[in-house]
Amino acid sequence: SAARFVLDPAFEVGPVDPRLFGSFVEHLGRCIHTGLYEPGHPAADADGMRTDVLALIRELGVTAIRYPGGNFVSAYRWEDGVGPREHRPRRLDLAWRSIETNEFGLGEFMNVIGKLPESEPMLAVNLGTRGVPEAIELLEYANHPGGTEISDRRVAAGDKEPYNVRLWCLGNEMDGPWQIGHKNAEEYGKLAAAAAWAMRLIDEDIDLVACGSSTRAMDTFGTWESTVLEHTYDLVDYISMHAYYEELDGDRDSFLASAVDMEAFIEGVVATCDHVAARRKSSKKMKISFDEWNVWYSSRTVGQPPRPWAENPRLLEDVYSVTDAVVFGSLLIALLRHADRIAIACLAQLVNAIAPIMTEPGGPAWRQTTFFPFAQTARYAKGARVLTVNVLSPTYPTAKHGEAALLHATAVIDDAGAVTIFAVNRDREAALPLEVSLRGLEHLTSVAEHAALADDGDPDAANTLENPERVALRPVDGTTLEAPGSANARLSATLPPLSWNIIRLV
């Protein structure tokens, strides 16, 4: 039977903050070196940045870019990455067992941001091995106009104007035992509050993100958020969330329903934030920075023998299939469905390490399968408003998430009144008929596009160095708008088996 929902502009979730389409650049593997930055590459500009990669980032539509980590930041000395290159130290990066040359640092990152008109920086401070003094010094270096020893170091490095970085993360995944300088919620809450308070003395316009849970599976999930927020509620603007999904033990049906877990996680964090607000009798609604999310086959790295120390090793270079991209598109749908509380989200990461963009040293750059749902969703949802979608759908059994809906969907309306539906069919074998009643949308007259990411023959198909254009969006025929211009307007579509879909109505 068909899946159905009703769209009515009178019922909306809320506007989409453009920062929902953020990403993440960490000193990890080849994300930076031979990814973003490769002096000597035929496509490198005078600053050593790969213009082929920059063009793909622009096409992707990325907004806020988080830097420099991730796990890396928790032992990072930001001073190592600024000033004359010949004086920058080589160091051990304990988080990723790599040699960090520090050739690329804050100034180089801001140089990249300057080449991406849609992007803004989001910096993380080290609250693992360091604390309040280093956090405020970094902020002074970045945002103070000049005339002090620290801010004049930036000026001497050639950046006269302050960077005016608005978004700051107070550490990274501090709840995780794997994090260097890991803390309990009480210790971290106090430290984050002290750092937030001092940082605002330098720049009162900054927005601050406190660390939430690293995954929903953490034993401390829930109590971590409530304890941290008890210390920081009035001092921070966002609490972070991180989530990664992968297919385990061949259980593709559960993997396809990963967004069920993601939505439950979001709703749990919202409930916890609101509980703290209620306890404090606060009218402030805490927002979420979902600053790491993706499909990541992290279990493949568990139990591997220690690698030799190396510069820019090939790490986390997951190759994404059509199936991965369908799940990925579904995670984007989950984010949009909660746009009332999620202000920022960062796809982790941007280049080479669990990334939508891949490169070969000295060679080409190409789009992974996940590139397509991100680019399309960013293009049509950025700045639009999310409409309420209550899906009536046939279900299927999953081992991890119980009965899951075959259809996962959301819809947005832009300022010109155009409506875009994003929908996933989780059925691996059968196409799914979709009927959408359009109420109060008499101005819509036609289907401008129905395209899908799907593959009849091979759900494991991927784009690779050898075959970089194997997978792309393809048009879907037969989508119709019945009784347009009337109160009975109705969209009919057929979603291909195991597919992510975009349907645009104008």
Q: Say which of 38, 79, 140, 292 is annotated catalytic.
A: 292
- Choose the binding region for ligand AHR from 67-75, 121-129, 274-282, 301-309 (rule: CB under 6 A): 67-75
Cα gap 472→454, rounded to integer Å: 9
**Residues 193-222 interacting with ligand AHR (rule: CB under 6 A):** 214
Nearest to residue 437, comparing CAs of 482, 393, 407, 495?
482
Cα gap 253→398, rounded to integer Å: 6
Phi, psi of 109 (to 5 degrees): -65, -45
Name the β-bridge partners of 124: 169
Contact assessment for residue 348 and residue 24, using Cβ atoms and an 8 Å cutoff: yes
Burial of 108 (0-12, 13-18, 19+ CB in 10 A): buried
Q: Say which of 26, 173, 247, 263 is annotated catalytic.
A: 173
Cα gap 352→312, rounded to integer Å: 11
Instruction: Give the residue, chosen from 5, 19, 21, 26, that forms a contact with ligand AHR under the rule CB under 6 A.
Output: 26
Cα gap 95→76, rounded to integer Å: 10
466 is catalytic: no
70 binding ligand AHR? (CB under 6 A): yes
Strand order in the sheet with 3-7: 3-7, 432-438, 490-495, 480-482
Q: Min. distance of Cβ 127 from ligand AHR in angstroms? A: 13
**Residues 145-174 interacting with ligand AHR (rule: CB under 6 A):** 172-173
Binding mask 383-402 for ligand AHR (x = CB under 6 A): --------------------
Whose Cβ is closer to ligand AHR: residue 26's or residue 79's? 26
118 is catalytic: no
Residues 6+ apart with CB under 8 A from 397: 253, 403, 404
Q: Which residue is nearest to ligand AHR (CB)?
A: 70
Kindly report the length of the chain.
506
Q: Min. distance of Cβ 240 from ligand AHR in angstroms? A: 10
Q: Min. distance of Cβ 227 from ligand AHR in angstroms? A: 20
- Choose the binding region for ligand AHR from 64-72, 84-92, 114-122, 486-494 (rule: CB under 6 A): 64-72
Instruction: Give the residue, chosen from 69, 81, 181, 459, that forms a contact with ligand AHR under the rule CB under 6 A.
Output: 69
22 binding ligand AHR? (CB under 6 A): no
DSSP line for 90-112: PEEETTTTEEE--SS-HHHHHHH
Q: Min. distance of Cβ 418 from ligand AHR in angstroms? A: 34
| H-state helical runs in 129-246 | 132-143, 149-156, 185-202, 223-232
128 binding ligand AHR? (CB under 6 A): no
Instruction: Give the residue, chosen from 62, 332, 348, 409, that forms a contact with ligand AHR under the rule CB under 6 A.
Output: 348
Q: Min. distance of Cβ 449 from ligand AHR in angstroms? A: 33
**Contacts with ligand AHR: how many residues (CB under 6 A)?**
10
Give the residues lining the site for ligand AHR (CB under 6 A).
26, 69-71, 172-173, 214, 292, 348-349
Instruction: Enumerate the active-site residues.
Output: 173, 292
